[in-house]
Amino acid sequence: MPDFALSPEQESLRDMARKFARTEMAPHAAECDRTPRFPEEIYRKAYDLGLMNLNVPTEYGGTGLGLFDQCLLVEELAYGCGGMTTSVIANCLALEPILLGGSETQKQRFLTPFCSAYNFASFCLTEPSGGSDAGALKTRARRSGEEYVLDGEKCFITNAPHASLFTVFATVDPALRTRGITAFVVPRSAAGLSTGKDEEKMGHRASSTSTVRFEGVRVPVADRLGEEGEGFSLAMRTLDQTRTPIGALATGIAQAALDHAAGYALKRQSFGKPIGEHQAIQIKLANMAQAVRAARLLTWYAAWTIDRGAKGTLESSIAKCFASDAALHVADEAIQTFGGYGYMKEYPVEKLLRDAKLTQIYEGANEIQRTVIARELLRQYA
Ligand code: CAA
């Protein structure tokens, strides 16, 4: 039988993340957003608490949580700051291809030293010429003896300026499209690898994003994940895992927006009474509460099915797409509830809207999620 009760262990994980988000992240969220600033001291504490390599099994030095437990933590963190949460959980995305496609030797070589210290890794798929059509990527991997030589450029890469390890998707033959794409693990020290300037972003400004260039970067064959041509399916299987926590991240932003709006509705007076006593505001709050709960339940359901062994393509896209649309809508309604004050940087809700927006775009734009959902559905009906 499905059960919505959390175990005592899950309650205590959630409480730990909630306390960290509210005491360590939230008090610095506005300043890191405004400056912008990548708060290393907060990320170090997140690492020390085991909040960074959530999906890596304990035998390789990670936290070893299932997806459901990861989602509980991510929602709490995002309540404190969406941008910081993006940076805290980006290792999960970058390391997932190693977990899914790496040999036992590769897992021990790459994951164990990486997780034994405070480190960042970056997932390099998107390129300047296209993000949604991942199969058309242009970064080349040319075989040269016992090495590959990588040339190309990636963009919008989370944490790249701070990363010590990169999982990189490149093609051995663009004519093969998705069947030419191959995955590699590349250390920052590789000659010819460079990262660009930190992008100036609309939201998630406590997070860091840049291009990554590969100019004649030599990668040993031993650092290829799986076989040549297996990289595209590895990237898709990775995203099947990591899109659900983006649903949780969006839910955390939405819950924060609802809490701010409800708190304000109780205090702010108009026409001689708190605005929460006006039906127009009550309807907003009621719709926001429904959206937050639905986002959480879809996210929990996706995580639960994946933890039970389901592939997760359909459910993770549904969770990510619905929760991110909900977050944008709820943040927008929170601003409307605050009126003119909501539009001011002095109040917290305009940041929530800017942070919510990215959740509709990264890890696959919601147009792509709808494409995936429709394809998976039609397959079931065919
Ligand atoms: N699992 C396993 N294999 C899969 C798969 C999945 N979920 N989805 C597709 N495949 C396989 C297919 O079976 C097919 O295999 P064969 O060649 O053996 O038949 C192959 O991959 C090609 O599949 P498609 O024909 O479906 O490929 P497509 O070109 O039509 O693209 C797409 C599909 C869903 C649109 C895909 O390109 C996509 O997901 N695009 C979005 C990319 C994305 O999400 N980028 C986010 C980057 S990360 C980021 O933003 C994060 C950050 O930094 C924080």
Counting atoms of ligand 1 from 1, which one is nearest the CA of 179? 17
> Which pLDDT score is estimated for 1?
55
Catalytic residues: 363
Q: Do domains 8-115 and 121-227 have the same CATH topology?
A: no
Q: Which of 233, 371, 379 to mutate to test the pocket of ligand 1 (most atoms within 8 A of CB)?
A: 233
Mean pLDDT of the chain: 98
For residue 233, report the distance from its CA to the centre of ligand 1, in Å.
7
Return the pLDDT at 243: 98
What is 233-381's CATH topology?
Butyryl-CoA Dehydrogenase, subunit A; domain 3 (1.20.140)
What was the pLDDT predicted at 307? 97
Q: Which ligand 1 atom sits nearest the alpha carbon of residue 158? A: 53
The domain covering 121-227 belongs, at the CATH homologous superfamily level, to Butyryl-CoA Dehydrogenase, subunit A, domain 2 (2.40.110.10)
How long a stretch of residues is the chain? 382
Q: What is the CATH number of domain 8-115?
A: 1.10.540.10
Pairing of strands 209-220, 193-195: antiparallel
- Residue nearest atom 18 in ligand 1 by C-alpha distance: 179
Structure confidence at residue 373 (pLDDT) = 98
Cis bond upstream, residue 36 (ω within 30): yes
CA atoms within 13 A on the CB side of 262: 12
Interval 232-268: pLDDT, tens:
999 999 999 999 999 999 999 999 999 999 999 999 9
Neighbouring-strand partners of residue 147: 144, 220
Amino acid letter for position 1:
M
| Residue spans per domain, the chain | 8-115, 121-227, 233-381
Residue 7 has pLDDT above 80, yes or no: yes
CA distance 141 to 150: 5
For ligand 1, atom 10, name the residue with the nearest CA: 233
- Kindly give the distance from the C-alpha atom of residue 127 to the centroid of ligand 1, in angstroms, as a whole number: 14
Q: What is the pLDDT of residues 327-374, one digit of tens each?
A: 999 999 999 999 999 999 999 999 999 999 999 999 999 999 999 999
pLDDT score recorded for residue 3: 79
pLDDT in tens, 140-198: 999 999 999 999 999 999 999 999 999 999 999 999 999 999 999 999 999 999 999 99
Ligand 1 centroid to residue 239 C-alpha, Å: 8
Residue 227: which pLDDT band, with cuts at 50, 70 and 90? very high
Please report which helix (H) or strand (E) contains residue 114, including its range: helix 112-115
pLDDT of residue 130: 86
